[in-house]
């Protein structure tokens, strides 16, 4: 039961984007289309799971005073590994996300979960936490990306259903804030009801 | 078990070990991915060259100094020859730094007589949904089979013949700038091909 709660919390109760409001920079910047949001979410999930596990494994080895530099080194290494792998095997996705992959290092979600969860829990629980938070993040990014793609370019996952231009502002930065604001409002409403 | 005590030696050892292990892992991954990354980049470039030129037999890489006044950038040229070693045309890996966000890099195919054959966008960071439309045929194909003497490679706002992308004049201008750089450099050097 504890594991189940641990697994589902990332989607609603503690959704990193809509509830915890962590990692807004990559969230707003990469969600110009559904596929970008999804790939950014999955890339972050990969880093989250591995860094959570690694930090949970090292938690007794790292003295308190240097825990932040240690975590950052661990996270940065995983991000660089991911970047090299994507560059080698998924060059087309790397091209669209390239700029934002290194930014996963400073994504508050990754460090936040290391700090708040992985350094106090077992490897298994930390891995589940990573999966839950990562997939919750991917879900949020995909939803935001889809909404912006539908309204902004009139297409979904690259499949165009209306010709010509749509509401361009949704592809640009202001649209990201507007769409995210509404999504947070909806999420708050749903969470209040379920209480 | 609680975390280790904050003694100098403990902190030193923890950070040192973590840095050494991370460094080692990165080295291994870097070496393992070096070849696939290079291969992916070459494949992309070869694909672009094939895309912008007619069928060719052999390819020769050279670099040519940009012909735009006041610039000393080196532009890679891929010269294509047929089976009888006749010059067919060149794929020019041109660039512009006038993009709306960052550099734009294009592969422009120019035939031996100076006709622009086709363009392939290698890299850009323009606004998705606006400037990013430069990769779409609706915009970039208007350059195909055009020659500098009958077609002015500038956007209509600047007195040229190019239809700019809606709401992305800066990106369209930058695109034209890159194309002009390729054409000019080709024109100035074509005697040597």
**Domain-located, residue B38:** no
* Chain A residues touching B125 at Cβ < 8 A: 99
* Chain B residues touching A99 at Cβ < 8 A: 125
Average pLDDT estimate for B125-130:
76
Å between A192 CA and nearest CA of chain B: 36
Decide if B28 touches A, using CB distance below 8 A: no
**CA dist A136 → A9, A176, B98 (Å):** 8, 18, 39
pLDDT averaged per 10 residues, chain A (length 195): 77 81 82 85 91 88 85 91 89 77 82 86 89 91 90 80 77 88 90 76
Average pLDDT estimate for B36-40:
90
Local structure of residue A116 (DSSP, 8 states): I
**Domain-located, residue B83:** yes
* Chain A residues touching B11 at Cβ < 8 A: 63, 65-66
**Domain-located, residue B164:** yes
Q: What is the mean pLDDT of chain B?
A: 86
Residues of A with CB under 8 A from a CB of B: 32-33, 36, 58-67, 69-70, 73-74, 76-77, 80-81, 84-85, 87-89, 91, 95, 99, 152-153, 165, 168, 171-172
Distance, in Å, from the CA atom of B179 to the CA atom of B172, rounded to the nearest integer, reads 11
Residue B44 has pLDDT above 60, yes or no: yes
Q: Which span out of A66-70, B1-5, B62-66, B169-173 was modeled with the highest average pLDDT?
A: B169-173
CA angle B125, B128, B133 (to 5 degrees): 90
Average pLDDT estimate for B110-134:
84
Do B135 and B168 form a contact (C-beta atoms < 8 A)?
no
Distance, in Å, from the CA atom of B100 to the CA atom of B175, rounded to the nearest integer, reads 10
pLDDT reported for residue B1: 45
pLDDT reported for residue B3: 62
List chain A domain ranges.
Answer: 2-145
pLDDT reported for residue B174: 92
Distance, in Å, from the CA atom of B171 to the CA atom of B173, rounded to the nearest integer, reads 5
**What residue spans of A59-122 are helical by DSSP H?**
67-89, 91-97, 108-113
Do A39 and A192 form a contact (C-beta atoms < 8 A)?
no
The count of domains in chain B is: 1
Q: Which of A70, A87, A91 minimises the CB distance to B18?
A: A70
Residue B103 has pLDDT above 70, yes or no: yes
**Domain-located, residue B3:** no
Residue B51 has pLDDT above 70, yes or no: yes
> What domain range is B92 assigned to?
50-192
pLDDT reported for residue A77: 93
């Amino acid at each position: 039961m504890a594991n189940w709660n641990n697994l589902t919390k990332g989607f609603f109760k503690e959704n990193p984007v809509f509830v915890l409001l962590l990692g807004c920079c990559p969230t707003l910047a990469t969600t110009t289309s559904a596929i970008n949001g999804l790939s950014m979410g999955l890339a972050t999930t990969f880093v989250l799971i591995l860094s959570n596990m690694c930090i949970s494994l090292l938690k007794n080895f790292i003295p308190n005073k240097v825990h932040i530099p240690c975590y950052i080194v661990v996270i940065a290494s995983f991000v660089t590994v991911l970047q090299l792998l994507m560059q080698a095997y998924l060059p087309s996705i790397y091209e669209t996300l390239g700029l934002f992959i290194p930014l996963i290092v400073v994504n508050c979600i990754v460090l936040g979960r290391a700090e708040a969860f992985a350094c106090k829990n077992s490897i298994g629980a930390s891995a589940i936490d990573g999966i839950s938070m990562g997939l919750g993040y991917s879900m949020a990014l995909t939803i935001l990306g889809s909404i912006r793609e539908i309204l902004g370019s009139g297409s979904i996952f690259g499949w165009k259903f209306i010709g010509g231009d749509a509401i361009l502002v949704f592809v640009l930065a202001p649209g990201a804030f507007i769409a995210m604001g509404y999504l947070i409002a909806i999420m708050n409403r749903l969470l209040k009801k379920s209480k | 078990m609680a975390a280790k005590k904050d003694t100098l030696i403990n902190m030193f050892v923890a950070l040192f070990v973590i840095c050494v292990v991370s460094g080692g892992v990165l080295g291994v991954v870097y070496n393992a991915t070096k070849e696939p990354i290079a291969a992916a980049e070459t494949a992309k470039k070869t694909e672009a060259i094939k895309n912008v030129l007619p069928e060719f037999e052999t390819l020769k890489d050279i670099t040519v100094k940009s012909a735009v006044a006041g610039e000393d950038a080196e532009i890679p040229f891929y010269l294509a020859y047929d089976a009888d070693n006749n010059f067919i045309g060149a794929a020019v890996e041109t660039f512009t730094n006038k993009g709306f966000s960052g550099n734009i890099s294009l592969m422009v195919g120019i035939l031996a007589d100076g006709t622009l054959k086709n363009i392939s966008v290698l890299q850009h960071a323009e606004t998705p949904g606006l400037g990013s439309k430069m990769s779409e045929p609706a915009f970039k194909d208007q350059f195909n089979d055009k020659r500098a003497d009958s077609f002015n490679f500038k956007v209509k706002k600047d007195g040229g013949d190019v239809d700019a992308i809606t709401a992305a004049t800066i990106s369209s201008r930058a695109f034209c700038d890159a194309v002009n750089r390729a054409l000019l450099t080709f024109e100035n050097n074509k005697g040597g091909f």
